[in-house]
Structure 1
Amino acid sequence: MTSPVPVWDPAQYLRHAGHRARPFTDLLARVPDPPSRAPRIADLGCGPGNVTAVLAERWPTARIIGYDNSPQMLADARAHAGPGLDFAHADVRTWTPTEPYDLIISNATLQWVPGHADRFADWIDGLTPGGTLAFQVPGNFDSPSHRLMRALAHRHGLTDALRHDGAVLTPEAYLDRLTALGCTTDAWETTYIHLLPGEDPVLDWVKGTGLRPVLTALADDPEAREAFLDDYRTALRGAYPKGPHGTPFPFRRIFAVARKEA
């Protein structure tokens, strides 16, 4: 079974907004100030717009556009729109700059774009001299949460619904690709240990992101959906036991900041 385009649920995604926004904050801390006093910024895969708004706070004179292909996410994102900050529909798989940008940034989106590293040349060509391409992606495709998800998807006849473990590159590979394009590049990885509250918090987490293709594929079959979730819930409880203060959830992230030659 091939999954349709995932249907996103902004409310579910934002249930862990604090943990999800932290890698973006850490990425932004390494992004140099754009060369222009009124920089042009593109946020690729802006989601519900909460982190795009952070860009407007850091650079209040910027002209920022958040792009996403999810109507559900864009509906929430537009609540953040204001002077210099807007949102528009676009597919990151085919998006190409139509005017020079001082910063192109992406937060936890490129893992959904097969072959995204092949787009780097077009995006860097669209940067102003001294401009920056910056992104972070999850690097947890070999973690228990995703290994179990793939195994159960295969067992439930949903093999083609999920991304494979080659959805992102290593930090070394990103460094090589971006440096070869003439950029001064900083690439690194971090594993966050999130302490998640509540019952079955890891399941609640992945319902907002990695599990969306499965939930979309099973949307018209509630019985099959609940059977999958029951199996997955049981497996996650074994892989991520609850501790006295919550459930520790290791989450690896990969970062890259590439600055075009001035």
Structure 2
Amino acid sequence: MDSATGWDPTTYLRFADERARPFGDLLARIGVLDPDEVVDLGCGDGSATATLAQRWPDARVSGVDSSPAMLAAAAALAVPGRLEFTAGDVRDWRPAAPVDVLVSNAVLHWVPGHTGLLTRWAGDLAPGGWLAVQVPGNQAAPTHALLADLVGGHRWAGRLAPGVDTVLDPAAVLDPAGYLDVLTAAGLSADAWETTYLHVLTGVDPVLRWVSGTVLRPVLARLSPGDADEFTTEYADALRAAYPARPDGTTVLPFRRVFAVGHRPD
């Protein structure tokens, strides 16, 4: 990892195919044919951003992320003048000129109060521009609920360094109707929906391996190494009970995601 709370591209991409599928479903709802400026906010390792350059080969595609490790991985994909990556916080990002397509995939659940950010991004669109976001919406699932119970319980609350686990908050993500209202109020023609994917995972403790690249990461960063190991063991036991292996050895992880796409009239 690039820091105590940083992202590890290798860990995150253990389930690259499963994580890429919602991005493809999101892009399928964008109806523009030949945009000039395309931006991916929270681009991660750049692999999804590169598909934007493939879809719109004449566009200038930019990826923005705050993780040095993720940007280092993305650098290998860069094509000067065509596909570029820059360091930045999505909360502070502002375009130099109006954007034709603005995408943010699996990022906004980390940003408290992100509805205001969506309103601002809608204002950054060029006439005819598109805003498309996808947000994991599984805060009520056992992966998150069990973790929230451990973090807030007496056994662990006193051992965790100060921090805010925003992503565990059930209110971190709106339902589709909420995002529809936000984008419509911002002057966009909007479409919003949700999908629950059933990921069929293999191997030992596959659900633990899934969350170790995302929601578990900032929690362990607040613990000493010894406590982190003990916490992980306790959490793994709870996950095995909540997501038992099937007779064929696979484990099914239901994963809800919320999508919203807005189009600014020409």
2:261 aligned with 1:260:
no
Equivalent-residue separation in structure 2 for 1:47 and 1:95 (angstroms): 15
Residue in 2 aligned with 1:181?
Answer: 186
Equivalent-residue separation in structure 2 for 1:172 and 1:126 (angstroms): 22
Residue in 2 aligned with 1:81?
Answer: 78
How many Å apart are 1:215 and its aligned residue?
Answer: 2.2
2:197 aligned with 1:192:
yes
2:199 aligned with 1:202:
no
Equivalent-residue separation in structure 2 for 1:6 and 1:232 (angstroms): 19
Residue in 2 aligned with 1:140?
Answer: 138
Report the 3-state secondary structure (helix = DSSP H, G, I; strand = E; otherwise coil) of the residue aligned with 1:99: coil
Equivalent-residue separation in structure 2 for 1:96 and 1:15 (angstroms): 32
How many Å apart are 1:96 and its aligned residue?
Answer: 2.0
How many Å apart are 1:123 and its aligned residue?
Answer: 1.1
TM-score normalised per structure 1: 0.94
Identity %: 51
Gaps of 5+ in 2: none
Residue in 2 aligned with 1:213?
Answer: 218
2:64 aligned with 1:67:
yes
5 Å-filtered alignment, 1:110-259, equals 110-155=108-153, 156-157=156-157, 158=160, 160-163=163-166, 164-218=169-223, 221-245=224-248, 246-259=250-263
Which aligned segments of 4 or more residues in structure 1 are displaced greater than 6 angstroms? none
Letter in 1 for 2:174: L
Report the 3-state secondary structure (helix = DSSP H, G, I; strand = E; otherwise coil) of the residue aligned with 2:214: coil
Equivalent-residue separation in structure 2 for 1:5 and 1:28 (angstroms): 33
Equivalent-residue separation in structure 2 for 1:132 and 1:95 (angstroms): 17
TM-score normalised per structure 2: 0.92
Equivalent-residue separation in structure 1 for 2:4 and 2:109 (angstroms): 14
Equivalent-residue separation in structure 2 for 1:109 and 1:125 (angstroms): 19
Report the 3-state secondary structure (helix = DSSP H, G, I; strand = E; otherwise coil) of the residue aligned with 2:244: coil
How many Å apart are 1:38 and its aligned residue?
Answer: 5.0
* Worse-superposed segment, 47-56 or 152-161: 152-161
Residue in 1 aligned with 2:54?
Answer: 57
Equivalent-residue separation in structure 1 for 2:220 and 2:7 (angstroms): 10
How many Å apart are 1:161 and its aligned residue?
Answer: 3.9
How many Å apart are 1:6 and its aligned residue?
Answer: 2.8
Kept after mapping to 2: 8 A contact 1:92/1:113:
no
Equivalent-residue separation in structure 1 for 2:127 and 2:229 (angstroms): 52
Comparing both chains, which one has the higher relative contact order based on Cα–Cα distances under 8 Å and sequence gaps of 6 or more?
A: 1
Q: Aligned-residue CA RMSD in angstroms? A: 1.4
Letter in 2 for 1:228: F
Aligned length: 255
How many Å apart are 1:241 and its aligned residue?
Answer: 0.2
Kept after mapping to 2: 8 A contact 1:189/1:254:
yes
Equivalent-residue separation in structure 1 for 2:32 and 2:183 (angstroms): 19
Equivalent-residue separation in structure 2 for 1:184 and 1:11 (angstroms): 38
Gaps of 5+ in 1: none
Report the 3-state secondary structure (helix = DSSP H, G, I; strand = E; otherwise coil) of the residue aligned with 1:82: coil
Report the 3-state secondary structure (helix = DSSP H, G, I; strand = E; otherwise coil) of the residue aligned with 1:186: strand
Letter in 1 for 2:141: S
